[in-house]
Structure 1
Amino acid sequence: MGARFTIAGGREGLLRALLTALAVGLGVAVLAIAASVPHLLDERERRTTARQVNTPLEFEQPGHELQKGSGTLVYRDASTEFRNRKVGGALLHPEGPGAPLPPGVTDPPRPGEMVVSPALGRLLDAGDGKLLRERLPYRTAGTIAPAGLIGPSELFFYAGDDKLAPGDGAVRIDRFGDGEPGPPADGGVVILVVLGCVILMLPAGVFISAAVRFGGEGRDRRLAALRLVGADGATTRRIAAGEALCGALLGLLAGAGIFLFARGFAPHLTIRDVTLFASDVTPAPVQAALIAVAVPALTVVVTLSALRRVAIEPLGVVRGAPARRRRLWWRLLIPAVGLALLVPSTVTVAWSPYYGPIETAMVAMGAALLLIGVAVALPWLVEACVARLRGGPLPWQLATRRLQAGSGPAARAVSGITVAVAGAIAVQMMLSGMQSGHDRPGGSVASWSRLKASYRPGTPEEINAYTKAFRATPGVQDAVAFVEQYATVPGKEHSVTTVHVADCTVLRTLARTGSCREGDVFVAAEKDGDVDTAHRFPPGTALEMDGFERAKERGTPAYRWTVPASARIVETLPGPTGDHQFGILATTSAIDARAIPDARTTVLARVDPGDRDDSIERFRNTAAAIDPGMRVWRLGGVVKENHLAAVEEGMTIGAVCVLALIALSMLVGTLEQLRERRRALSVLVACGTSRATIGWSVLWQTAVPVVLGMALAVGAGLGLGRLLLALVHERVRDWFAFVPLVCAGAGMIVLVTVACLPALWRLTRPEELRTE
């Protein structure tokens, strides 16, 4: 019978059912999205692990190398960057018919061919990808399936190379998915995910609780009529529960539709190069079943709780007297426990940027308790504030007297706003704080036009060729190349310097060497004397280069070398990047660079700032032509698209949408209150009170709880955001993140009041004084 009242209750009943289904559906969709986060992370981790490879050969113990066979494959990472976006990739050389295939690839690419992700294929076909096409001189022979990609917008490729052999970064493998586990998730990302789930779920629960109260006054009239025709109190409560249950079931269907529609936008969401497949946004079956059971159960519990203090009689409904004053101590206990969970976390993670299960649980529980504390403290705050209001203009007195008579419904409606706004402010502070220097526009730092590349140790002829090739690259203003490695003085702690090996032409660009010929060695000292290289590592110093722990694990002996007594102390010069290369400068015949463990060839370059972006890509093209494994990075940091700013803007829009939905629920609640008070309002008008006075009273009646709730939300949101930024060792960059939300709240007050005015004029007509 309750379901029939919901569906077949006329136009008003159908409208009420649609509003309830929409509100519950939005809450269900939000809960489903939050419940999808674990599955989303698991799927990304599974795909990431599935394409990892074994530890590179150069780090294995001697004698443990994998031998060539029919089921082996030589693999070498060939990742690069293009327009500040990572382009992942690898070179493959199958050594037999049973060689393993990467996930998402059905046939291995032949030499000179490559298989690409759909996003990379589109980029290569576009005009903007011309320079990247020059860097990847392979014919596109296929597409990588989603199983081999982390996200739909990932740029990734596999290319065939029959000249590939183990060594110099290449590794022989017999399977994929056997790599070392990746590093723990970054603390800031963990906190954002956890906070996002908390912020999504708490307002959803509040919103669902408010939604099932729609149409309370009309429901009470129906229940009174049922008592008149013979139903007892228990029967009426069961019918009311049936109405709520029917609305919840409709809301579940609406929520499923909203969720499926919303997750279709997942591939278009990008956060620091992280994209999502729509199929990843799927709640686990257990969690979906829990939502399907918990939401209807919550609606029934809320409905029965609302009827607890209502006496439904055959001739009307009598509501119980107001409850005793709300107590504050237990309301403050909840956020106090949340603070106790968050503050120790600051001490715990001060030693590490990563989060484990314990830290994650502490952050989640602390943030949830703080936001719950905001919601439960609001009713006390509204009651305590309005109880002290006296006097004032007539509209103000009407509004405050109404709130003093019963502030519970208003506080419940506003609690959803409070939780949503507090959480949104905290997330916005996190996002703005995490926008570090590498997310700023590239033109703000001059060093972003300076590059550094690293490669295996080269011969003198190779280094000279590298330097000429880079200097000949269009847009490159200057470039030098040299072999370098750290060196220590045996038996002395903290005595570390750097040995640079290059020909005289390069050394002259690094220091004032004067005359230089093969076999010369120089000790480069800083001009102002801050780095006293000349006295710490004078000629005749014995040095040791052991490659640190990696070479020791392989059993590679340390390389010992003594600075010759003929070495001259020289003054350094700023290189192409503007930095001084302190330490030992040796010509190529003075030291055997190939014998130094883990030595690297370093290239320093400066490109034309006026054509910086294209010049950087041409530099990378030159590096890839030398060897696809050469690493290139900017010395000023990686300039990324400001995705966090876009997410911050999206969060603001989402919060405003939540405010609009809650404003709709407040509008429905205010209209029902006006209908309940229509006789009292009509009497006021009949006695000479103007409708404008009553309209202003409705405005103040809406404004007072909202203003108090927004003030509480701003304080809680700023405090929570500051605590969470401390967890990731970031500073607050925007203390005024709450301004757009406060403005939206003010606009919501005006809109609710204006929308109520037509009904108010109608309900205050003299005809409303008629009664039976």
Structure 2
Amino acid sequence: MSVHNDLVLGARLAVGGGRTRGTSLVRLALVATGVGLAVAALLLALSAVGAVQARMDRESAREPVPAEAGDTSTYVIQDWTYYRGTLIEGAFLQAGGAGAPVPPGLDRVPAPGELVVSPALAELLRSPEGELLRPRFTGRVVGTISAEGLADAGELRYYAGADGLRESGAAEAVGAFGERGGSTGPPPFLMFLLGVSAAVVFVPLLIFVSSVSRIAGAERDRRLSALRLAGADAAQLRRIAAAEALVGALAGVAVGAVVFLAARPAVAGTDIAGIPVRPADFAPSWQAATAGLLLAPVLAVGSALFGLRHLVVEPLGVVRRSAPVRRRLWWRLSLVGAGVLALSPDLVFAVEGRGHNTAVAAGTGSVLLLLGVPALTAWLTDRLVRRLRGGTPAWQLAVRRLQLDSGTPTRVVAGVTAVLAGAIALHGLFGAVQAERERVIADERDAVLVAVTDADFRHAAELLRHTQGVREVDDDAIVLDETDPAALERARNALAPLSWRASLSAPVDSQASAERAVAILRGVLVAGVLLTLVISGASLLVLVSGQLAERRRALAALGANGVPWGVVGRSLLWQNAIPIGVGVVVAVSVGLAATALVGRLLEMPFRPDWPIVAGLAAVAVLVVLAATAALLPAVRAATTQSALRAE
């Protein structure tokens, strides 16, 4: 047979024909559903990344680029203020001559006394809620910033024309906006956390794709044996098996694309973990989409071929070269060891603790550690069940099944254990961030600092002394009346006549920014973990269904021999409970170790929240047991005499 004929035969076997058509279509539907859910989640995650990247690109496009010799400059002083805890960013501008660069979203540099504001800020200034903010903007509003100059539609931003910037020495001479700078990207620490969060989301999805593609492996082995009897050689069998897996993966890609297109309109209208993005940006780049769509077929085919490595397919049957499979420990420990080394870049590679290289190392180390969790779980489960003896009939059935083949049940729980390890690591890291923030806030002064540029401080102090709510003005700080909630806003308004020459900074502002950053980062964790757990639950149903389909003959035989269906059902629960129990121990250990390593790298305290750790572990166990219990009615049907006659 030619290669083309082998591939066509594999595709026909995936769909089935004659008596086996119904069974083949059910198997194909299970594989397509499992792969489709993972592909849809992957596309949604890539779309979220694309939306955030588009936002960062717009922010980068308005970043000032220092002027070079011969450039006509625009003089810029970046400015920001807070209003009731909400950040309002802006800049004071002065054109240095004709042809001076203009920030994105503006058609010209505003003249002194002119203001250009974002639509959201214009609406706030017109509304009753902005009554206390209006005195701070003394210029005349001459226009609004267009969409290309805003990170999102709700951003509060302004540009104010001013004079005296060139002579002050405090302004930056700008030759362009964003043209020579490129994307600045997120801060290193945020990249660090995003790298770990991406590993938590993507690694379990990859595990699910590879696991689902190996549903009904025993049935596939019998088909390969029949083909061997018909004269197919080993190379042809591999091509046929690859084509059969490819059909299921491609069907899963189609299902995933449909689910993604159906879910995108609802998801695109929401913020991503607290970060506002434009709905139109919620789409993966064509490069990312292509890679994501190709990943499922590659993993499916690779998993199918990898599953044949221990098989000797003969005309009269299938024999495994080693039964049970001897699981090697060295490469599993190598994954964990490499992850530990990657999370210690300052010791191994002399990398700075909070630089961009550290973020890359953190993401790499997290991926390796998360891959090591299911790998170690499989080895430990295999060693554990070999030593188990006795117990109830249900227990003995489960243990014997695991002794013969622990690979399938371990694959069922692999993705959940990876999610658990990543969630514990990230939660511990956020706990350390929270503790560090509380320590910094406790050390800050209660006074509000006054920053003065090119102005007489006595003038600023005089303005503040006549402001309601200001109790004391001393050197470069003021003390506000704590009983007056509007005192800080009035103090900022009092300095408005000095324009860019004076500003206020208060501890409450930094506290609000820190709390908002922690909330966004925690939202990234919660969104990623919830998304992956939803996919976990759905994929577990698919995997357990496939597990049940593989054993339907044995289950029917047990029922025919008088074994109660309840015993069979409890054995299936034990069969998945033992691997998830081992996996929880491994995941908690790896998650806590990762938290300790990251905390040491970032010089943050290691303070695990044991109730949260216990809760996450309990959720992981419940997800697996609930998915298994949901199929107990199918177990009962499989143990009836009619099921045996159907076989």
Same fold (TM over 0.5): yes
Spell out the pairing of 1:401-480 with structure 2 (5 A cutoff): 401-435=400-434, 450-456=447-453, 458-459=455-456, 463=458, 465-476=459-470, 478-480=471-473
Q: Could you tell me how far apart the structure 1 residues matched to 2:469 and 2:533 are?
A: 52
Instruction: Give the match's secondary structure for 1:374.
Output: helix
- CA deviations 1:258-312 (Å, max 9, x no partner) are 66655985784467x8655566666665555444444322211222333455677
1:371 counterpart = 2:364: no
Note the residue ranges of structure 1 that are not aligned, 5 or more in a row.
57-63, 483-601
| Residue in structure 1 matched with residue 482 of structure 2 by the alignment | 609
Q: Could you tell me how far apart the structure 2 residues matched to 1:738 and 1:103 are?
A: 47
Deviation of 1:47 after TM superposition, in Å, equals 4.2
Report the structure, 1 or 2, having the larger helix content: 2
Q: Could you tell me how far apart the structure 2 residues matched to 1:698 and 1:54 are?
A: 64
After alignment, is 740-749 or 150-159 more displaced?
150-159
| Residue in structure 2 matched with residue 399 of structure 1 by the alignment | 398
Q: Could you tell me how far apart the structure 1 residues matched to 2:32 and 2:501 are?
A: 57
Between structure 1 and structure 2, the one with the greater Rg is: 1
Deviation of 1:388 after TM superposition, in Å, equals 0.7
- CA deviations 1:631-672 (Å, max 9, x no partner) are 311246432344534543553454344344334434334344
Deviation of 1:704 after TM superposition, in Å, equals 0.5
| Residue in structure 2 matched with residue 52 of structure 1 by the alignment | 63
Q: Could you tell me how far apart the structure 2 residues matched to 1:83 and 1:287 are?
A: 40
Q: Could you tell me how far apart the structure 2 residues matched to 1:26 and 1:155 are?
A: 38
Query: Compared with structure 1, are the counterparts of its residues 694 and 126 closer, same or farther at alpha carbon in structure 2 (3 Å cutoff)?
Result: farther
Spell out the pairing of 1:348-747 with structure 2 (5 A cutoff): 354-357=354-357, 359-435=358-434, 450-456=447-453, 458-459=455-456, 463=458, 465-476=459-470, 478-482=471-475, 602=476, 604-612=477-485, 614-635=486-507, 637-640=510-513, 641-645=515-519, 647-648=521-522, 651-652=525-526, 654-736=528-610, 737-747=612-622
Q: Could you tell me how far apart the structure 2 residues matched to 1:177 and 1:771 are?
A: 70
Q: Could you tell me how far apart the structure 2 residues matched to 1:124 and 1:607 are?
A: 25
Deviation of 1:395 after TM superposition, in Å, equals 1.5
Please tell me the root mean square deviation across aligned C-alpha atoms, in Å. 4.1
1:757 counterpart = 2:629: no
Q: Is the 8 A contact 2:33 2:542 kept in 1?
A: no
Query: Compared with structure 1, are the counterparts of its residues 18 and 94 closer, same or farther at alpha carbon in structure 2 (3 Å cutoff)?
Result: farther
Q: Could you tell me how far apart the structure 1 residues matched to 2:390 and 2:236 are?
A: 45
Query: Compared with structure 1, are the counterparts of its residues 650 and 365 closer, same or farther at alpha carbon in structure 2 (3 Å cutoff)?
Result: closer
Instruction: Give the match's secondary structure for 2:478.
Output: strand
Structure 2 counterpart of 1:355, one-letter code: G
Q: Could you tell me how far apart the structure 2 residues matched to 1:126 and 1:769 are?
A: 74
1:102 counterpart = 2:103: yes
Structure 1 counterpart of 2:542, one-letter code: V
Deviation of 1:406 after TM superposition, in Å, equals 0.8
- CA deviations 1:14-58 (Å, max 9, x no partner) are 5544543343344445555777899778766654454333669xx
Query: Compared with structure 1, are the counterparts of its residues 129 and 339 closer, same or farther at alpha carbon in structure 2 (3 Å cutoff)?
Result: same
Note the residue ranges of structure 2 that are not aligned, 5 or more in a row.
1-7
Structure 2 counterpart of 1:354, one-letter code: R
Structure 1 counterpart of 2:571, one-letter code: S
Deviation of 1:346 after TM superposition, in Å, equals 5.5
| Residue in structure 1 matched with residue 342 of structure 2 by the alignment | 341
Of residues 31, 34, 46, the one that matches 1:20 is 31
| Residue identity (%) | 35
Query: Compared with structure 1, are the counterparts of its residues 240 and 174 closer, same or farther at alpha carbon in structure 2 (3 Å cutoff)?
Result: closer
Q: Is the 8 A contact 2:204 2:418 kept in 1?
A: yes
Query: Compared with structure 1, are the counterparts of its residues 233 and 51 closer, same or farther at alpha carbon in structure 2 (3 Å cutoff)?
Result: closer
| Residue in structure 2 matched with residue 596 of structure 1 by the alignment | none
Higher relative contact order structure (alpha carbons within 8 Å, sequence separation ≥ 6): 2
Query: Compared with structure 1, are the counterparts of its residues 349 and 474 closer, same or farther at alpha carbon in structure 2 (3 Å cutoff)?
Result: farther
After alignment, is 742-751 or 431-440 more displaced?
431-440
Deviation of 1:216 after TM superposition, in Å, equals 4.3
Spell out the pairing of 1:176-191 with structure 2 (5 A cutoff): 176-177=177-178, 186-191=187-192
Query: Compared with structure 1, are the counterparts of its residues 12 and 129 closer, same or farther at alpha carbon in structure 2 (3 Å cutoff)?
Result: farther
Deviation of 1:448 after TM superposition, in Å, equals 7.8
Q: Could you tell me how far apart the structure 1 residues matched to 2:421 and 2:185 are?
A: 28
Instruction: Give the match's secondary structure for 1:609.
Output: coil
Deviation of 1:429 after TM superposition, in Å, equals 1.6
Q: Is the 8 A contact 2:207 2:415 kept in 1?
A: yes
1:120 counterpart = 2:115: no
Query: Compared with structure 1, are the counterparts of its residues 65 and 86 closer, same or farther at alpha carbon in structure 2 (3 Å cutoff)?
Result: farther
Instruction: Give the match's secondary structure for 1:91.
Output: strand
- CA deviations 1:570-599 (Å, max 9, x no partner) are xxxxxxxxxxxxxxxxxxxxxxxxxxxxxx
Deviation of 1:331 after TM superposition, in Å, equals 1.9
Deviation of 1:400 after TM superposition, in Å, equals 0.9
Structure 2 counterpart of 1:619, one-letter code: A
- CA deviations 1:495-547 (Å, max 9, x no partner) are xxxxxxxxxxxxxxxxxxxxxxxxxxxxxxxxxxxxxxxxxxxxxxxxxxxxx
Structure 2 counterpart of 1:615, one-letter code: A
Spell out the pairing of 1:189-268 with structure 2 (5 A cutoff): 189-216=190-217, 238-256=239-257, 261=263, 265=267, 268=270
Deviation of 1:389 after TM superposition, in Å, equals 0.6
Q: Is the 8 A contact 2:341 2:348 kept in 1?
A: no
Instruction: Give the match's secondary structure for 2:343.
Output: helix
Structure 2 counterpart of 1:474, one-letter code: Q
Q: Is the 8 A contact 1:346 1:726 kept in 2?
A: no
Deviation of 1:705 after TM superposition, in Å, equals 0.5
Structure 2 counterpart of 1:250, one-letter code: A
Query: Compared with structure 1, are the counterparts of its residues 230 and 184 closer, same or farther at alpha carbon in structure 2 (3 Å cutoff)?
Result: closer
Q: Could you tell me how far apart the structure 2 residues matched to 1:235 and 1:243 are?
A: 12
Q: Could you tell me how far apart the structure 2 residues matched to 1:145 and 1:258 are?
A: 34
